[in-house]
Amino acid sequence: MGLMSEIHETAIIHPSSIIGENVTIGENCKIGPNCIIEGRTKIGANCVFVGFASIGTNAEHKTFFDKEGRTILCNNITVREFVTINAGTNGTTYIESDCIFLRGSHVGHDSHISEKSTISCNVIIGGHSHLQRGCNIGLGAILHQNTIIGAFSMVGMGAVVTKKSIIEPGKIYAGNPSKYIGENKIGLGRSLIYFEALEAERRSFRRLRHGT
């Protein structure tokens, strides 16, 4: 563990894990064996890292291979085995609360994953992507860098989201390249999202896409 790291006294960290000097870890976090948490990384409360996770490592961008970046994970986040979350470049990689990252998933530099999103096994999220809240990304899906994924949408197993794809809130997409296949009625029902709330998410989605 780094001499300058700030680790809450209630956090439980396996002795085989490596914690960098500029890392902050909040209360009641559990960090399993052989995890690496480094960079300028801040982790909130009640987060669980099962094992062999790599968090806050330098961006996979040739200009930033040797430059320490910033990563923020909020509260109640579950990170399973072999997940990688890269630090930002000139910005920050930001993970909101209540997200789940399943085994072997990857979050590229400067991405923003909003609350209550689920990232399945082997998903690859390219850098500078923005996933709005409640997204469900299926097994092995690939998201091009700079992708915007609408709230409460579902990207199907093995789907490829290209730079031309538009993934709107509350809908289901599948295939290579990804195509609209229906409304995400089950996901919206489980999240208790109704018309007015979904319309608000659609307005937010349009602002993100057009940079306003």
> In angstroms, rounded to a whole number, what is the distance separating the alpha carbons of residues 106 and 132?
17
What are φ and ψ of residue 141, in 5° steps?
A: -70, 150
Q: What is the pLDDT of residues 133-147, one digit of tens each?
A: 999 999 999 999 999
Domain annotation covers residue 98: yes
Q: What is the pLDDT of residues 22-76, one digit of tens each?
A: 999 999 999 999 999 999 999 999 999 999 999 999 999 999 999 999 999 999 9
Domain annotation covers residue 1: no
Domain annotation covers residue 166: yes
Termini Cα distance of the chain: 42
Determine the structural domain holding residue 161 and report its residue range: 6-210
Contact partners, residue 178, CB within 8 Å, separation at least 6 = 155, 156, 159, 160, 161, 162, 165, 167
Q: How many domains does the chain have?
A: 1
Domain annotation covers residue 181: yes
CB 84 within 8 Å of CB 101? no
Between 36 and 199, residue with greater pLDDT: 36
The CATH number of residue 108's host domain is 2.160.10.10
